[in-house]
Structure 1
Amino acid sequence: MTKKVYIAHPFRGKKPYTEEQIRENTLRVTKLCHAIFKDVPDVVPVSPVHAFSFVDPFRDDQNKVLDCCGELLSTCDEIWVFGDWLSSMGCIFEVGTFCRRDEGGIAFCTFDEETKRIKKAAAFDLTIDKSDVIAYILDQRQRAFGGEREK
């Protein structure tokens, strides 16, 4: 059975946001999706970085983008989380949104540049760990962003 997997990875990176950071993160996500496409035949990678590439990351309303990401995420069976996701308000939002669902799985992953392979660092069934994950995310968001969505 083919499943849709949402690829969560920082896009703008840490403040101050730069065009170079955005290009590097976009390239990383492209490599991740290509590796999944080649090596994991039962997975369709769903990349918000690519789906919303028409949005200006400096001028357009990022809250609207996050709302669109939430809609896209709602169509996916799993979420795979890459990179320094706790430094990204978008990734925190995506993981938190997914954790509120009653079904689906989450995996925290790495990408081996040398072998071009995805490695799942940790995976769990959200029906068991969901409340702990949400509490952890809310705590991290509070520490990093004062509990508010980034503008």
Structure 2
Amino acid sequence: MLIYVAHPYNNEEKNKREVEEIIKTLVTNNPEHTFLSPIHTFGFMYDFVENYAQGINMCFNLLSICDRLILCGDWENSKGCKLEKGFAELRGIPTSIYDGGGIIN
């Protein structure tokens, strides 16, 4: 499966590092899957895109090709993560919440 890993970003390096550690754990425990981070795919463009809508639409395009969404970190207080969750729900993409060691529904 191709799995989209959503985590708050806000152009903060610590958030990027947290996602890296989460994905390392996920890959270790689930080597049969491929995990994608929009932070690592588009993070370098944070100050380049014209507006928030352009950036989140790029994330939606990436999420649309994935088989599952995993929400991580303080996702409930992240505008982007909540939008990604809503997009996944509309598209019928299964969603899980990362609990620090595994995936829960």
**Do they superpose with TM above 0.5?**
yes
CA deviation after TM superposition for structure 1 residue 83, in Å? 1.2
Q: TM-score, with normalisation over the residues of structure 1?
A: 0.64
- C-alpha separation in 2, matches of 1:79 and 1:88: 15
- C-alpha separation in 1, matches of 2:46 and 2:94: 31
Q: What is the SS of the residue equivalent to 1:36?
A: helix
CA deviation after TM superposition for structure 1 residue 53, in Å? 2.4
5+ residue gaps, structure 1, are 13-18, 112-117, 124-151
Equivalence for 1:65: 55
Equivalence for 1:36: 26
What is the aligned-residue identity percentage?
26
- C-alpha separation in 2, matches of 1:105 and 1:42: 18
5+ residue gaps, structure 2, are none
Q: What is the SS of the residue equivalent to 1:68?
A: helix
Equivalence for 1:109: 98
Q: What is the SS of the residue equivalent to 2:26?
A: helix
CA RMSD of aligned residues (A): 1.6
Equivalence for 1:49: 39
Q: Which letter does structure 1 place at the counterpart of 2:9?
A: F
Q: How many residues align?
A: 104
Following TM superposition, where does structure 1 have runs of at least 4 consecutive aligned residues deviating by more than 6 angstroms? none
Cα contact 2:26–2:102 (8 A) shared by 1? no
Equivalence for 2:84: 94
Q: TM-score, with normalisation over the residues of structure 2?
A: 0.89
